[in-house]
Each structure stands twice: as C-alpha cells, then as structure tokens.
Structure 1
Amino acid sequence: MTRFIALCATLLALVSPAQAACVEPALGNVTLYLRGALNSWAAAEEQAFEYRCDAYYLNLKAQGTQEFKIADEDWTARLTFGGDAAGLLTRGGPANLRRDFHGEHTLRLSFDAQGQPHLDIGPQTFKPTPPRPITDRAALTTRFDSRDLEAKQPFGAQPAGSEIRFSIGNDVPGLKSATLVIERRSLVGDQQQLAYAPLARIAMTPAPHGLGTGFSASYRFQDIGVYGYWFEIETAEGRYALQNNADTVYWTREKGSMGVAALARLPRNLSQVRRYRQTIYAPDFQVPAWARDVVYYYVFPERFRNGDKRNDPRPGGGRSQDRYQDRDVERHATWNEKPFKPAGPGEKGDGSDALYNNDFFGGDLQGVTTKLDYIKSVGANAIYLTPVFRAPSNHKYDAADYKHIDPAFGTDADFERLCAEAARRGIRVIPDTSLNHVGADSPYFNRFSNFPAGGAFDGGKINPDSPYASWFKFKPEETDPDKQFQGWMGVTDLPEIDKSSPSFRAFAYGDKDSVTKLWLDRGAAGWRMDVAPWIPDDFWREWRRAVKATKPDALTVAETWFDASKFLLGDEFDSVMNYIFRNAVLDYAAGQPATRTYANLELIREAYPPQTLYALMNLLSTHDQPRALHHLGEDSDLVLAKRRLRLAVFFQMTYPGSPTIYYGDEVGLGGGDDPYNRAPYPWADEGGKPDEQLLADFKRLTKLRHDLPVLRHGSLSAPLLLDEHVVVLARQDGATWAVTATNNSTRPRTVTVDLPFPATRLRDALGGKAVAVKDGQVQLTVPPLFGRVLVTP
C-alpha cells in the first residue's frame, strides 16, 4: 500500500489540474460523493467531488482502513463505482472499496479513453474552488427558524387537517417578495428514492417588520404524509432559496436538521433545494400508553444464557439443529470464547471453518426464563428478542419455519412459558422476525433438499408447482442457480420474498393462524419488524390493521436506521429502532461537540409525532453495530470508555423514549463489528468477569427513571443551554418540573441557566446538594462525564 500511495503522489505531482489537458466531464452534469462508513453512507456535501479540468477531485481527512463507494445521490447504477472481486475500482462494482488512510489526502477519479475509471489517492494537493459569496444584505438578513413560534406555528409534527402559519422576517429594506413553496415527498421504498412533487406555491403577504418587511402565509395540510417546504425570496439583486441547513443527519440521505434557515442562490435545478420537512399524521394515531414507561432488555438469545444443554447444536449430530444448510455446525468449547470469524480476503482466520453464522454457544429460551429476575433487577420491564423461530443460523434471520421455535432454542411451549413468567414479573416480551426474506434452507425454498419436496426451489431447481412458488420472483432464463432468484442485498442465503404475493400476505398476517397473529396469541406483546424499508408501505398498513385487531395494545416497532418519519404517520408503526439517537448520544459521550450532535435529536423532536417520540427504542448498542463500549474506546482506555458509557446511559435514562439495554452492556461487555458484538454474556458461573460496579451504575440510573415519572412522561422543549460540552434540558409533567444536565468534558463545568418555571429551590434526585434558584436563574456544576437531575420539591 505504501508503494501504491507513493506512486499516486508522483502521478498527482506530474499531472495537476492546472497542467492537464482539459476535457468535458465524463459523467456529465452530476455530483459524485464518497459514501462510506465514515459518513454513514450518506451523500454528504463534505465528501462531494469537484470536477476540475480532467478529473473529479476530493480532499479527505481520514485515519485507518475505510470502506466506501463513489456514487451520485441516487445510487444510479452507471454512476456508482465499487470494487470488483479483486477489490479494484469498477463501474457498478458490487463490493465496497477498502483503502488505508493516514491523514489528509486528495482523491482523484479519472476516466481513460475507453471510459474505464481510475482512482488515485495521494497527499493533499488539490485546492477546491471557493463558493461565490452572497453579498446581498437584504437576502442575508432574511430570517426563518422552524422552532420559533413567531416564525412557524404550531411547532413540529401535526395531525391531518392542521393549518400551519409560516413567517419570515427582515429588519432592513430590500426584500421585494416571498413565496412559500409546499411539496409532498414520495413515500415509496426506502430513503434512496428521494423525490418531492410540487403541491402549492403561495404568495406570502407582506407587512412592516422593523425597518424592513416581513412576509407570512398559511397552508392547511389535509392528508397524512411527509411534506417539504421552503421559501423563494426576491430582492433587487436576485432570487434566493431560504432553505433547511446542510447538517448531515445520521444514516439519512436527506440533509438538514431544521431550525435556523440557510440562504442560497436559487438553483436552476430545484431538486438541489434542501427542504424543511413537515410530518402530518393521522388524527386518531395512538401508541400504546405503556410504551413510554418501557426500559428494554435486548437479547440475542444464542449468546445470552444456556438454560438447557440438551438442545445445544452439536457437530456431526443427526438432529436439525446439528446442520447448517448442507454442512456441519461448530460448537464452542467454552461459554466465554470469542465468536468465530472466518478469514476474509487478505485476512488471517481464527481457525474456524469458512462459514459465517454457523458457530453456536447454546443460548436458548430456557436461559432467558431462568434469568428473568436478573433482567428485572437491571431495571427492564420489556424484553426484545432477536428471532427465535426455526432457522439454521445462529442469528435466525434466515427463517425456516415462522410458526415454530427453533429446536436449539426450545419449543413453542418454552416461548409461552417465557411470556407467562415474564408477565408475572411485569415484563413484556416482543419478538422479532423478517417478512422480507426467508432462508434458502427452509421448506418455503428448500434449496438444499433438507425438507420434503414442495419448496419453490427444491434442490436448486425452480418448482412452479410449489405452494410457495408465488412467494418469489424467478429468472428461469438464467443458467446459474444463484442468479435464478433474488437474494436480499445479493445474499443468496436469504431469498427475497415477493411481498405483493396474496398467498404470502395471507400467511404473514391475513389468515387466522398467520405468523403475526399466532405469536401475539402465544403471549407476545408486540412485534419488532426487520428491514422495514424494503417492504412496501401498503403491506405494512394491512399488517398494522391485523396486529391491532388481534391485540389492540400491541406495540409495533420498525427497524429503520435513518429519519423514520414516513413510518410514523399512524398507519404503519408505533415506534422505530432509534439509530439516530444511538449515534448522536455515543458521539456526544465520546467527546464530540454537543452543538453538533444534539442537532440530530432536535430534528427528531420536530419531525416525529409526539406520541412516537416517547415510544422510540432508544438504543446504544445493537447486534448490527459495534457495541457502545467499543465505540467509546475500549481498546485504548477501558476505564475511560466505561465512564463515557455511564454518561451515555445517564442521557438515555433522562431523555424521552424507551431506553434499550443490549445484553451485557451493563457489565462491560464490549466488541466491535459482527460477530464480536454478539459475544456471550460473561456470567460468573461460566468463567466470565462481569463488572459489578458498572452494573450498579446501570441499576441506579434505571431506578432513577422509574422513580421519576417526569423523566418518562415529561414534555421536552429546546435546550435551556447547549454549548460544546453541556446540554441542559427542562422536562414538565403536570406540576412537576425536572432539569437534566449532562457534561461530556473530563472536567466539571459550571453553567447558569434561566428556568422556564417558578421555583426557589431544586432537589438533586441523585442525592447531591439542593440548588437554590435566584431571580429565575440556577447555577449548577455538572460533574465530568456525567450529569445531574434537579426536580421541583
């Protein structure tokens, strides 16, 4: 790699943008972005290439090995560049590119005479073209803030039929006219399909505003949906877009965290305007009342606790759980071993076989049941279970039988027993499944002939007579079996279901004994649904009606990682896995400025209906991302990482939503990417070393949340104070107020805030000294890497 970078540096030195013969852009008038793990795969302006003379250039500051692709905003096939089988850049390459970075670099994407792409990476030498500044004073001083009730009223998401008033202001002369532009976002598919359709252009009414002019207009939003709005303004010097800011939202393609508006010259292509988003939800949208009081304990069953060793998968055995598709399983010799990770390209293996997801520790449902008292002691009153239905893998997302528990996890009766025993302790159980894909090794597909004939792809051959044939879309003209069907995300182990199939919809939620209804009847308190964005919205609307008809207070949770407004309109889900919260809180706890990270949480407060805000699954770790402790630096300073984790949990327990504890986080279980984020819980009787002090801290914080209803039910407004390190929030629940403060600095921070309520004294809910209120202000010192909760007496 060192030789490669040196060569690239030489090339860049020899062929600079100023020296090369200029040619027209090979890809026309498009913008390319570096999209990878370093920016949540978003098309971020900070990683946009600039075309200059002969190639596309980007300056990038990064450290370590990075995975990425180069693509336009829409991931258009001809404009997406990835890696081929050898990891080399190619148009439409299916694999991610992997490159090592060590500071500041210039990336140069060029095309040869045959149109083949070439990517050179060297020291930073490119000087980007600075943006043309706007000097129009009338335009620059025009203001809008979507969180200011004088500019937009009412605040945030609203029920259908609501009229919203918009106002912009300017204190200097020169603003000639203003137009409120209302558009409606297409809700088809996932976030990659981003399109707004024009709905209304409303000439705003002028009125004196200081020495300048203000403009206002109203619009009534009749139908549920996600809308966009922005303002076109005109001065004597030109026309401009008053638009959303350019903040990157975690995992989300669409930029802008809302709040104070940004100004830009009116682009020729109006798709480049950054819209504010306005969520309009169903007036009768209700979320189960119990959701706001939930603390989840999130269990990956195979790695939590082995309660019955008789059902453990065993290599060379003759039972179904002893086989992985057409091959053998692996069994760990001891409970606290590392999960196995086969060698990848250019990697050294750990001695296991070449298969992923076929190594087992023996965790099961009996193990969860035997630890219910422990789970309750941690402070949880709900359990989220990743899939437990029959499947060959250790993760069980490759369903083989939706209607029965996997034999390695126990029996259907074991699930019913778990739900009943949990209910006796005030704990609800929410299972998980995917209705987007099944396992190739299932009676529905039967690629490996491990089931009686009748699958849609028996023995690797299309079976049009199968009762499941309509569940899949086949390509009989292909000769390669792997290409005769669509695997989800290209994974042939996971054949993707045709969700428009009436037969599958009946099986999934329509029949009396459908998958959805069956497990609710067996004791489930709701459902978490995998990869929700890849399933049509009309499917989810029908599915929701089936859920609520079966159990009206069942909670429905979608797996989405980005801004999930489209799922929270009252016709699909009650809640989502809040990955935006995860990233914002972990980055804040890791020391990033609160002024930047908290903007993502303000977006959620504004974009999501209030009833969903209090039901969001606010997680810090998951089985799909590195654990919180890893993110916070366990490999460099474990003691400091645990202090930062405690800060993140403090924030989690004092913020609206449903705090979610991933099994083992509470005792210091770490781990990076899959499979290490799925390590077994370190039970002491299995030779593990759980961190009892950290566990005590978790219990203290969950108790704080349960003891103070204001932390679960209280209203949330804009921060009372927000600086680089400290976030101070006010919560109100009836006559009770709470002030929560967090500090991500390694030093104490003393701040003074104005209170929005009358008081003379505030009690410290964690046993510290009471704080006096003087002239409506309170001065408080927030301890390093922790927080305080002050409540009215």
Structure 2
Amino acid sequence: VDPMLGSNEDFEDLCAAARARGIRVMLDGVFNHQGFVSRYFNGDGFYPELGAHQSKASPYYPWYHFNRWPDQYDAWWGIYSLPAVNESQEDYVDYIIEGEDSIVRRWLRAGADGWRLDVADELPDAFIEKLHRAAREVKPEAVIIGEVWEDGSNKIAYGVRRRHLLGGHLDGLMNYPFRNALLAWLLGGDAGQFRESMETIRENYPPAAFYSAMNSLGTHDTPRILTLLGVGGDCGGESKQWRAEHRLSPEERALGVRRLKLAALVQYAFPGSPTTYYGDEAGMEGFEDPFNRRTYPWGEEDAELIAWYRALGKARRELAPLRRGALCYTAAEGDVLAFTRTWEEDTVLCACNAGRECARVTLPWSAAEIGGLLCFPTDPDTGEAVVELPPLTGYLLRKSPGRE
C-alpha cells in the first residue's frame, strides 16, 4: 500500500485480518522526499493534473525548492529522481499531518497501528512532534518509530542535536547499533565489545525505548544477512558486477546458516522487537540494493532456517521473559556471549559460541533447575551446571518455574 496515492478499499480488511492473527500493521512514511514520477512532482507527466515539474501554478509547487525551475531542485542526497520536500511548508504539513483527512490520520483510522519514519534525522523536530501528536489524537496507542542509524539519544544531525527520545517525538528507533555490534562479534570480534556497545545504549535510552527498539539483522538498506555472514563481509572491494552475480558456495552457505542461526537466537532473546526482513528466514542471498530485493523463493525456502525461526517465534510468544524480562549478562568474552532475561520468577538464558572451538559456560543454576527449550545441557548435575557449547552453537535454556 502506498498511502500517498489515495484510499485503498482493501486496507481496512487487511488490518482486521492481521489483528485477528495477533499482527499489527505499521506503515513506512517517507515524508522527507518523493519520487520524480510521483503525482505531486509528476516529472514524466503521467498524471493529468499539473505537478510541480509542469507548472509553477501547481498546488504542489511550493512543496519543493527549485534552484532553477523546472530541472534544478533540491533532492535527497543529490539523487535527481528523489526531489526533496520542504517539510515546513504549511500546505504540506496539513496534507501529511494536520488536516482531518491527512495521510497520518486517515491511515491510522483505517486500521494502521503506527508509522515508521524514513530518514528521521532529516525531518525537522517540529514536524515529528506534530506527527506524533496527531497520531496519538487518532489512536492513543499508536507507535512512532524512527530510522536512525546511530545512538539516537545524543545524535547531532545537520548541526542540530536531535530530540528523538526526549518525549513527544519518537517512541523508539531502529536499532542499527545492535546489528553492527552483533555482526562484529559473529565475524571474529569480542563478545565483551558487544556487551559494551549494548550497555551504552541501555544507559542512554529511556527503558521504554531500549525494550522496544527495532532490532533487525537486515533491511532493504543493507546486504542480505546470510550473504554477509557467509562471505564474511560486504565485499565492497569487488566490482558491482561481481556482487550482482555472486552466489554463496556450499561451504559459504553452510557457514552463513550456522552464523545466522546464532544471530537470530540472540535477536529473539535480546531486549527489543525482533524484526525480520522478508526472506532472511528463508535463506535469501544478495549484496546491497538492488541485489537484496529479489523475489521471495516460494517453494524453495531453506527448511532448516524456516524451522529455526518458527521455534524462535514460538519461544518469544510463549515466554514472557523474552518479551519483558530484565537483562543480565552471564558471560561476554571472546567467542562466548551469554545472558539471562528474567520476568517475575521465570528466567531464560541465551548462551552462544561464535568460535570454531568448543567453549564452556557456567550457569547460575544447577542442572536440575534447567528445562531445555531448544537444546538440553549435557553435563550431569554437579551443583552449578556447566554447559558445553560446540562451535557455532547456541542454546536457549529455561530455569524450571517454581524451583528454588
């Protein structure tokens, strides 16, 4: 659905069907720039009404800043096909936010539950504040998530310290720092650095923002996670043609799958909202855009990964600690990362070994207190349980409820 193209009579039914299955719909709002061929700019003259590119008399002309009309104008990052919008122009603010039938209000009333704001750093604070207020007026529980690639608590963008997490602006952020730290560890880094990076985010973010951060391993703006983990990087030194044609070898794919299973285990066990880019769970490959946008492999999904993601989703749904629990690290050094999530009397531990050698993790419980979820520890009860972690292996273990 492209909300800016007008009404969609099927959208309410889509949202109702999703909600019946426990799914909420969040729309992606790209309010900083538009397309050259959008009905507002109408660069190719496709639409019958006048766009800003056809005439200065167009009602949309004030939305853009022309250095020399019609072919020289501000564009997002200088890309001519993406003309930038003046987010402070009154008519534009009314159309997107303030009007009774504005884009933000209309689609929330139609059933959407929130908005993800593209390039939030490039939207004025006043614009985001108005958008947040309008969304809450229509739907008090609406969620506004911003695309921010760094620590959003102290971000300075275009010379302005942003107010992303100071209330009344964004409810949460895309957690690219989580992705960066996790990939660095999986590709040979130190688990201690992952903990350090995430503890910095936890210290800087309000608790609600930390526990609702959008934790993704891949997006349309990044190479496919399986490809990254299989080849060990983005291969930026290779030609674009090479990256377009490359497919993982059987050895690279096997390594990528094992690393991806570890990455997804941490993602689903860690505080925040695990977010999966379509097809990552099915084993899709590809480097950067557009190679990461191939069609879903219907009928050819990776059965091993599908089963793993289903098990993780089931665990996340059924175990309250994985959704709400407090975070405590048990081990974070070298190849080994282990942490617990505790909610009330229930505790779940995630223990992972990203290395090529076996590792051991000492647990804060006896073996008799542990109920296996995805895997069982193998050592007998010797007081404190010691779990053997084979190479590139992760366990999700639960302390049996009610046992002291």
Shorter-chain TM range is 0.7 to 0.9
In structure 2, do the counterparts of structure 1 residues 758 and 454 end up closer, same or farther at CA, with 3 Å as the change threshold?
same
Does residue 143 of structure 2 align to residue 538 of structure 1? no
| TM-score normalised to structure 2 length | 0.86
Whether the aligned pair in 1 keeps the contact of 2:366 and 2:385 (CA below 8 Å) is: no
In structure 2, do the counterparts of structure 1 residues 759 and 750 end up closer, same or farther at CA, with 3 Å as the change threshold?
closer
Deviation at 1:714, TM superposition (A): 0.3
In structure 2, do the counterparts of structure 1 residues 446 and 778 end up closer, same or farther at CA, with 3 Å as the change threshold?
same
Where do residues 281-430 of structure 1 align in structure 2 (5 Å cutoff)? 388-389=1-2, 402-404=4-6, 412-430=8-26
Aligned to 1:761: 369
Aligned to 2:243: none
Identical counterparts, % of pairs: 39
Letter in 2 for 1:561: W
CA distance in 2, matches of 1:700, 1:446: 47
2:104 aligned residue (516, 524, 527): 516
Deviation at 1:546, TM superposition (A): 0.3
Letter in 1 for 2:207: P
Deviation at 1:763, TM superposition (A): 2.3
Aligned to 1:641: 256
532-541 vs 567-576, which deviates more? 567-576
1:436 aligned residue (20, 32, 41): 32
Does residue 67 of structure 2 align to residue 475 of structure 1? yes
CA distance in 2, matches of 1:770, 1:538: 57
Aligned to 1:572: 169
Instruction: Kindly indicate which of the two structures has a greater share of residues assigned to helix.
Output: 2
Letter in 1 for 2:71: D
In structure 2, do the counterparts of structure 1 residues 568 and 791 end up closer, same or farther at CA, with 3 Å as the change threshold?
same
CA distance in 1, matches of 2:123, 2:90: 14
Aligned to 2:157: none
1:553 aligned residue (127, 137, 141): 141
SS in 1 for 2:140: coil
CA distance in 1, matches of 2:49, 2:325: 57
Whether the aligned pair in 2 keeps the contact of 1:403 and 1:515 (CA below 8 Å) is: no
Aligned to 1:727: 337
In structure 2, do the counterparts of structure 1 residues 773 and 708 end up closer, same or farther at CA, with 3 Å as the change threshold?
farther
Deviation at 1:520, TM superposition (A): 0.8
Deviation at 1:568, TM superposition (A): 1.8
CA distance in 2, matches of 1:403, 1:450: 14
Instruction: State the Cα deviation string for residues 44-87 of structure 1 (Å, max 9, x = none).
Output: xxxxxxxxxxxxxxxxxxxxxxxxxxxxxxxxxxxxxxxxxxxx
CA distance in 2, matches of 1:772, 1:554: 49
CA distance in 1, matches of 2:169, 2:326: 24
| TM-score normalised to structure 1 length | 0.45
Count of equivalent residues: 373
Does residue 196 of structure 2 align to residue 607 of structure 1? no
Structure 2 residues without counterparts, runs of 5 or longer = 154-162, 232-247
Aligned to 1:526: 114
CA distance in 2, matches of 1:783, 1:525: 42
Aligned to 2:160: none
Instruction: Kindly indicate which of the two structures has a greater share of residues assigned to strand.
Output: 1
1:782 aligned residue (373, 378, 389): 389
Deviation at 1:770, TM superposition (A): 7.7
In structure 2, do the counterparts of structure 1 residues 744 and 704 end up closer, same or farther at CA, with 3 Å as the change threshold?
same
Does residue 277 of structure 2 align to residue 696 of structure 1? no
CA distance in 2, matches of 1:771, 1:474: 70
Where do residues 470-509 of structure 1 align in structure 2 (5 Å cutoff)? 470-476=62-68, 481-483=70-72, 485-509=73-97
Whether the aligned pair in 2 keeps the contact of 1:589 and 1:785 (CA below 8 Å) is: no
Aligned to 1:628: 225
Letter in 2 for 1:735: E
Whether the aligned pair in 2 keeps the contact of 1:763 and 1:771 (CA below 8 Å) is: no
Deviation at 1:567, TM superposition (A): 1.4
Where do residues 7-156 of structure 1 align in structure 2 (5 Å cutoff)? none
SS in 2 for 1:583: helix
Instruction: State the Cα deviation string for residues 539-580 of structure 1 (Å, max 9, x = none).
Output: 101110000111111111111111112412222111222111
CA distance in 2, matches of 1:482, 1:403: 24
Letter in 1 for 2:16: A
CA distance in 2, matches of 1:773, 1:567: 49
Deviation at 1:789, TM superposition (A): 2.5
CA distance in 1, matches of 2:18, 2:48: 37
CA distance in 2, matches of 1:680, 1:403: 24
Whether the aligned pair in 2 keeps the contact of 1:576 and 1:616 (CA below 8 Å) is: yes
Deviation at 1:594, TM superposition (A): 1.4
CA distance in 2, matches of 1:698, 1:586: 18
Deviation at 1:771, TM superposition (A): 7.0
Aligned to 1:589: 186
Aligned to 2:294: 679
Aligned to 1:466: 58
CA distance in 1, matches of 2:390, 2:346: 24
CA distance in 1, matches of 2:392, 2:94: 52
CA distance in 2, matches of 1:482, 1:772: 74
Deviation at 1:435, TM superposition (A): 0.6
Letter in 2 for 1:702: G
Aligned to 1:305: none
Letter in 2 for 1:701: L
Deviation at 1:629, TM superposition (A): 0.4
Does residue 43 of structure 2 align to residue 447 of structure 1? yes
Q: Larger Cα Rg: Structure 1 or Structure 2?
A: 1
CA distance in 1, matches of 2:264, 2:338: 16
